[in-house]
Amino acid sequence: MINSLSIIIPFYNEEKRISTCLTELDKFHKKNKKKIEVIFVDDGSHDNSKYIIMKHYKKKKSKNFFFRLITYKKNRGKGFALKKGVLNAKFDWLLTTDVDFSVSLNQLNIWKKKNFLRKKKYIYFGSRQHMQSKVKTKILRKFLGVIFRYIIDYILNIKIKDTQCGFKLYKKNIAKKIFSSLSINGFEHDLEIVLLAKEKNFEIVELPVTWKHKEGSKINIYYDTIKMFFGVLILKLKFLR
């Protein structure tokens, strides 16, 4: 079903974790024979992240593997970075994922093996709330996640159980239609993706994942939670007048 894949990875000041990311990408490439392009989007980093990436891929050559790095100077937010990556992607399917790989790239192979991917379905969200998912996280994050789900259900009428997991798979043409309309730059962009998909009549299917919390996340539990709440109100005004 997936003959070619674009993997979009946004990052910001990740020099301490980027080598682990590159190692997993190499393993995934060796295990999969399909055409793969990796698009790193540097969201205004001021450390050595991009230089580590460029050095890693400088001598790597393969007929079915392609690498690109998109950079810009000002930190704009994860939503903005993903939009840049998606709109530049070339292959048939697009996977957006986080640089720490809280969900391993091998999850995609597991989905395929278990026949979770169907021809007539074009958006798949990794869901930590799926009954088959295996999740290792901190209690506080889990509690805030429950509260956040109730808020978005009540205010935005979003029934997706996990909008915030970074592991998402799209058919290329569907992704480009959604992300070209994306206006939210911050972490709450995931909610706008759901609302845009609903507006454009694209169905979202939630699939199980094995998810493990990784240290070094750029999310501030308190500040970003408050910021996302105001983002929810903005989306309410935009989509549900």
The pTM of this model reads 0.91
Q: For residue 92, give the nearest of 170, 32, 166, 168 by alpha carbon.
A: 170
pLDDT per residue over 89-103, tens digit each?
Answer: 999 999 999 999 999
Share above pLDDT 90 across residues of the chain, in percent, rounded to a whole number: 68
* pLDDT values of the chain reduced to their tens digit, one per residue, 241 residues: 788 999 999 999 999 999 999 999 999 998 887 899 999 999 999 999 999 999 999 877 778 899 999 999 999 999 999 999 999 999 999 999 999 999 999 999 999 999 999 877 789 999 999 999 999 877 766 666 677 777 888 788 888 999 999 999 999 999 999 999 999 998 889 999 999 999 999 999 999 999 998 776 666 666 666 777 788 888 888 887 5
